[in-house]
Structure 1
Amino acid sequence: MTWFPRLLGIGTAAAGAVVVLRPEALASACGMGDSDGNVAPTTAVLCRGIGVRDVLSGLAMTFAPSPDTLRLAVVARATADFGDAAVLLPGDSQARSIAATLAAGRGVLCALSGLTIRSDAADEEVVKSADDQQTYVWRRGHREGRATDRMSPLRRWVSEIVEEELRDADLVD
């Protein structure tokens, strides 16, 4: 299911576009503007930079071509949100505390949306290998390989330990 993170990507890109066009929207929400709602030029540049980052990360989430790319875009977006929260949290104003809480909440929401991303069923298929163990074969375009080929060494090591323990407990063949 990839619609939820993609929907968050659309919302993130739209919110970023608003900040690029009206940096005072973000500055006043974070307590960085004056009482009249005016924003210093340097603050406006900072806010526009944040807006551009949000537009780009939102578009990356929206138009990611594969589940792996979408996961990477979601991780980048959640990391940016947690970074925003960490920067805003030490502030002494109530507006910054609220903005930090909202940024952390959006980071959690993005991270949770990443858990909904699954590989396409057409990309993977279960096959029996020569030693009669079930493995996944993935096919994308003209490339073909085993799922273990694209695993990190740490993940492969942990998977082997788990499989061995399950076999020792007679939970799998």
Structure 2
Amino acid sequence: MKIKLLAVSLMLASAFAVAPALAETKIGFVNTEKLLREAPLSVAAQKKLEREFAARQQELQKLAKQARELQAQLDKDGVTMSDTERKNKERELGNHSRELQRQEREFREDLNLRRNEELGQIQERARKTIQEIARAEKFDIIIEQAVFVDPKSDITDRVMKALGGK
């Protein structure tokens, strides 16, 4: 019985010893999804990518339109065409469709690669900014994901402002 009482006493004593340390701990939260979505750096990077890939996207749209027109012509006139002419049109449509798919795949890969490059640069700058704020304001820990956050602990807007935003 004395051993159980001693064990309970030690557990309670250690809990009370940890409580003041937790009360003095300064914790901050950064919503990185919001930061990467709404920060002016992110918005500028997205617009930069749109400008960079606009010509290729227009070319893909042009190729897709040509493929639709070939398909429509084949559907409309295919019955009246000779076998050779119809087969040639079908082959042309098949080649056109394969080329379109290849170019679309390359476009997506290139866009994703560039998006990841831009995102990596933004993440690096955001991380440095978060660390600077944490040091300047004497945070003990900054958390990026949480189930619940008290708004007074959320420093996302301060990070955005420090990055040159709102």
TM > 0.5: no
Q: Which has the higher contact order (CA 8 A, sep 6+)?
A: 2
Structure number with the higher strand fraction is 1
Q: Which structure's CA Rg is the greater one? A: 2
